[in-house]
Amino acid sequence: MDSFTYRYPVTVHFGEKAAEKNLPAELARVGQNVMLAYGGGSIKRNGVYDELMNLLKAAGKTVTEFSGIMSNPTYAKVQEGARLARENNIDFILAVGGGSVIDCCKVVSAQAKTDEDLWELETVLHGSPTDFIPMGAVVTAFGTGAEMNNGAVITNETKKVKGPLWGAFYDFAILDPAYTMTMPMGQVISGSFDALSHCMETYMGAPRETNLSDEINEACQRNIIRNLRVTLKNPQDIKARSELVWAAAMGENGMLKIGKVTDFQAHMLEHQLGAYTDCNHGQGLAVIHPVLYRHMLPEAAPQFARLAVNVWGVDPTGKTETELANAFIDALADFIREAGLPTTFTEMGIPADTDFKAIADTTVLTGGCCRKFTKDELLAVLNECR
């Protein structure tokens, strides 16, 4: 294990009726003016909105609504939320939804407290925000684990860049698996694969020899695979859903990253694909991962071989390391098909005339990846994904 300092600032309230049991005490600790942030309105259809509004009213809060946060939230939407927060003297933000809402509010929390442009501050001047509006998250769509960290993925439409900005940590996160039971099945599948991808991208980083963080990671991967299979057979299995919700949180709460320099090259490539196409994140990852991993295999064979045996249950008897590494990629690709995820960009509806060269040229090259890709190699990956 490498040297590390571990601190985890987010309080997690997990389980049935977690909001009813814990939100009143959390609200008692925050200011009067609360921003309730959410997406397209599904929380109004499934009853979560009414439940939370009743709890906010019972706490005597003045509520300002910030709605319409889209998938792949834009920097323009961040600025809209920041203006709303300033105009209404918001003391606390309650973000309700999945990763898009939760990410957007992390940056709203910071932008509302400064006149500096956060994109300029972080990406050009390489500074960091220091003042934030306190926040809490209520997770209604799992997969991203966004409630567990202070990183946000935001699309700057003007610059055609989908990339990371850093905002506030949530003071608390409410994870009631029952809130996720009305998620469309396609979102359940893509969210589960995103969670699996987070685990794999962390695992594939350095150090590359066996370590405790990676052994815990292997258990998380097995859990996601097993419980998504259960969910595919019975989408209303609350026990399987509970496991998936917590596994997604584990993927991004820092525990699996202790002592690691992570990879996340697949994520960086998919982010730029999303900047140019606004595609579904989990589906994009499902298409990219097997192709990217074929290109990584010569350098990544020892780790791939361990994943084949320890996660996918491949019998190592009589197999070389390279054969096991290929068996891992084959098992991953088979699972993607089993889950009904797309295997090509064409299946995703991405136009053939998409500027894949521009996507490759603007993709961040990650330091933790065991293969040091060039832009031309990433373009080759994208072309194979078509």
Residue 243, C-beta contacts closer than 8 angstroms, at least 6 positions apart: 223, 226, 227
pLDDT at position 5: 75
Domain positions in the chain are 11-180, 185-385
pLDDT tens digit sequence for 30-89: 999 999 999 998 999 999 999 999 999 999 999 999 999 999 999 999 999 999 999 999
Give the pLDDT mean for 374-386: 98
Q: Which of 206, 300, 191, 177 is nearest to 251 (CA)?
A: 191
Hey, what are 252's tokens? 């991004």
Cα 20 to Cα 130: distance, rounded to the nearest angstrom: 32
Cα 342 to Cα 285: distance, rounded to the nearest angstrom: 10
pLDDT at position 335: 98
pLDDT band at 207 (very low <50, low <70, confident <90, very high): very high
pLDDT band at 6 (very low <50, low <70, confident <90, very high): confident
- Secondary element (H or E) of residue 93: strand 92-97
For 267-331, the three-class secondary structure string (H helix, E strand, C coil) is HHHHHHHHHHHCCCHHHHHHHHHHHHHHHHHHHHHHHHHHHHHHCCCCCCCCCCHHHHHHHHHHH
pLDDT tens digit sequence for 248-262: 999 999 999 999 999
Q: Which fold has domain 11-180?
A: Rossmann fold (3.40.50)
pLDDT tens digit sequence for 208-244: 999 999 999 999 999 999 999 999 999 999 999 999 9
pTM: 0.95
Give the pLDDT mean for 152-181: 95
In DSSP notation, 137-178 reads EEESS-SS-GGGSSEEEEEETTTTEEEEEE-PPPSEEEE-GG
Cα 51 to Cα 328: distance, rounded to the nearest angstrom: 44
Q: Is the pLDDT of residue 1 over 90?
A: no
pLDDT tens digit sequence for 11-22: 999 999 999 999
**Identity of the residue numbered 113:** K
Superfamily of domain 185-385: Dehydroquinate synthase-like - alpha domain (1.20.1090.10)
pLDDT tens digit sequence for 84-105: 999 999 999 999 999 999 999 9
Cα 241 to Cα 134: distance, rounded to the nearest angstrom: 29
pLDDT band at 7 (very low <50, low <70, confident <90, very high): confident
